Amino acid sequence: MAIWSCFFLVYIIGYYLIITQPILGEKLLVPPHFQVVNVSSLHPEPHCQSSSTSGQTIRSQKLEIVARYGPCFPNPKTPTSESSQLRNWDQVRVRSINKKHKAQRVPFDNEVNSDHGYYTVKIGLGTPRQDFYLMVDTGSKSTWVHCKSCTKGCKSDKPLFDPSKSSTYTNNTATCNGPFSVRYVDKSSISGTWGCDTLTGDDHDLGAIMNFRFGCGQEIDGDFGDASGVFGLGKGESSVTSQIGSAMKMFSYYIPPRSDLKGNLYFGNEARENSNTCSNQFTPLVKDDSVNYYVDLVGISVAGKKLNVSSTIFTSRGTIIDSGTVITRLPQMVYSALRNAFRQSMLTYTLLDEDDELLDTCYSLEGIEQFLLPEIKFHFGQGSTIDVTLTYQGKIWTPPDNKRSIMCLAFASTKGVTIIGNVQQRGFNVIYDLEGQRIGFGTKCA
């Protein structure tokens, strides 16, 4: 009997290897709830490309999103040990979100660590306009830039806003004056004064916003990287969304699938019109007084099978959707179930035995042209549930300096709040309908 059991096991494994590992040049046979991924599609080109996958065109009220560490960013850093550095920064941001989450019922002035954000937009301030790349952050309630009057911590090679060169700058009205300061949980900080000026978008595509309130940074303590400040899209009276008028209570962004492609950020009517060309799924925003946007994530499926985890595990601490966090964080029980199901679906590939604090499910793709990746779905909503299927770029992380052809599951465990990071948002037109109090995930945009 034992012999027949062993024979049957060998037969099953052999059959699985045959259908999932084709002879060179042949096509993979694709089981249900799997997709074929070309390894070459994971590697960004060394030069910036137009993102043909977004299906979106340049109109008014639009900004281009670029990765800070890709070829579309001016003078991008060369990735050396960048993969581990980015993951370390991501850990810092997640810790700061959880500290803020725990303290949201008491006075708390600290903000999330935006200095480690991954995506930027180019904006103009003043007349004539002075250009800056700011980090896109749905976890920050204010926008700020480094200013010419900076007396501490400003880098000489970073653009500085000069109020004296703008004919439309003011800091002597009721809302456009007074001290400005932001303290981050890692003890970095920026302080200066509030001011107001005209905000315009990249290449003038964003219609001018007059008397836009922003912080003029003069004393900086900490390393805020190579960006010139923060573009605050969170909730709060000084956020971008609170200043663009009642007719524009909607914004949407498309995060590109790779760092050599550009995404975009729309506001108001353009966000609405652009989103109307997509196939959208909406889930309600959870009402909350914090700066972040909360949704009800109630379940996850891998390869067509829902994880055997109670929805209360997801909802007990809530779920934040965040533009600045890179890797999605899940409760430990949920992550363990997800990891086990993913590994079970990837048995024919080489699981690496690497000691990584954050990413513990990585595979070698050496010598492989194509591989099969299991479908992963997010289930949102307590009543009317929607099922959002992640893109293949939204399931995996490949290091920017990926010389070893490594692919990792882009999820990690947390003891704090669940956070949907920007990797899982790749390839979606993510819609923030603030008037309708809902979040949308759009695909197949025209």
Catalytic residues: 137, 322
Bridge partners of residue 438, in order along the sequence = 284, 433
Alpha-carbon span 135 to 130, nearest angstrom: 16
**Helix/strand/coil for 356:** coil
State the Cα–Cα distance between residues 437 and 74, nearest whole angstrom: 36
Q: Give 130's contacts (C-beta < 8 A, 6+ positions apart).
A: 124, 159, 161, 162, 165, 166
Which stretch of DSSP H or E encloses residue 311?
A: helix 311-315
Q: How far apart are CA 296 and CA 336, in angstroms?
A: 20
Element of type H or E holding 212: strand 209-221
Question: How many CA atoms within 13 Å lie on the side-chain side of 56?
Answer: 35
Q: What is the dihedral of CA 323, 225, 126, 262, to 10 degrees?
A: -50
CB 331 within 8 Å of CB 299: no
User: Nearest 5 degrees, angle CA 399-CA 404-CA 406?
Assistant: 50
With the C-alpha atoms ordered 63, 64, 65, 69, is the resulting torsion angle positive or negative? negative
Distance CA 160, CA 275 (A): 35
Side-chain-facing half-sphere of 219: CA atoms under 13 Å:
9
